[in-house]
Structure 1
Amino acid sequence: MLKGQCFCGAVRYEAGDTPSQETACHCSVCRHTSGAPFVAWFTVPAMAFRFTSGRPASFRSSAHGTRMFCAACGTPLTFRSAQFPDEIDVTTCSLEDPERLPPKDHTHTSSGLSWVRLADGLPVYGETRSGIGAAGPVR
């Protein structure tokens, strides 16, 4: 069982099942909503995720996306897409132990910042990873 929380501890969650799609997303929406150059995410089935304390706030970040965050401290916590209603994406660094789920690639780098230099050797995708609407890694 993966456990996590916001910075102030007001909102806590558990994520079970097998995480997948561990990525570092460089899209402009992730950058703007986090104030960071990219955001690490993982995905679990929506049925395997639950908030165990506190009540997160939410907002629509796109026509299909809803993001949840702690209203007290602002920590970004989850992303839900109407295009994939059975999944929930969770911010990796809100985990108690984010070392357990390092990113396996970088996605949406076509809209990434020019001053971010990736040197970790992970696959880099201009948009989504191959098999999910992309042509494959750019390196």
Structure 2
Amino acid sequence: MMSQQYQGSCLCGGVQFAVEGFHKQAANCHCSMCRKFHGAAFGTLVGVQGLTWLSGQHLLNEFTAPNGTIRTFCMVCGSSIGFRVKGAPFEAIELAIATFDGDIPVQIDAQIYTRYKANWCALQPDIPSFDEGRSG
């Protein structure tokens, strides 16, 4: 029996990927780096299982932030594709959930680094919030 696949892509469609599943935890990150990288009030990323690059892996570029975190993007259209913690291998990439082309079985379970949130953004009252990471 074939497992379910969830596909995603960048804005220009040059980068395309498929995953077989998702990690249970997914958070809205309000740190200033995620806000700038995504051009939004927060970034939402999720760890995935069974990632396959369907096309455009050669179009991926990376930015390493001063704290060592690595952000991956399409070098043609600039779409935010993913995030890795300092020292994590490429295979450990967390993908931006907004890049998926259809509905995905992911529920946001936390709001993290809320101490850095934009003053114009209200937190969602029904989701647990953490000033720093989940343990902070």
Superposition TM-score tier, normalisation by shorter sequence:
0.7 to 0.9
The C-alpha deviation readout for 1:8-45, integer Å capped at 9, x for no partner, is 11101122344232111000100111211101111125
| Matching residue of 1:32 | 36
1:26 and 1:119 map into 2 onto residues whose CA distance is: 12
1:65 and 1:50 map into 2 onto residues whose CA distance is: 22
Aligned length: 129
Structure 2 unmatched runs, 5+? none
| Matching residue of 1:57 | 61
1:90 and 1:98 map into 2 onto residues whose CA distance is: 14
Structure 1 unmatched runs, 5+? 135-139
DSSP 3-state at the match of 1:41: strand
After the TM superposition, which of the residue ranges 81-90 and 15-24 deviates more from structure 2?
81-90
| Matching residue of 2:19 | 15
How many Å apart are 1:49 and its aligned residue? 2.2
The C-alpha deviation readout for 1:73-127, integer Å capped at 9, x for no partner, is 1110011123544632110110112553231111110111122112351111111
After the TM superposition, which of the residue ranges 54-63 and 110-119 deviates more from structure 2?
54-63
User: Which consecutive segments of 4 or more residues in structure 1 shift more than 6 A?
Assistant: none
1:41 is aligned, of 33, 38, 45, to: 45
2:108 is aligned, of 84, 90, 103, to: 103
Q: Does 1:68 align with 2:72?
A: yes
How many Å apart are 1:58 and its aligned residue? 1.5
2:21 and 2:104 map into 1 onto residues whose CA distance is: 18
- Asked if the contact 1:7/1:75 (under 8 Å) is kept, the reply is yes
TM-score (norm 2): 0.82
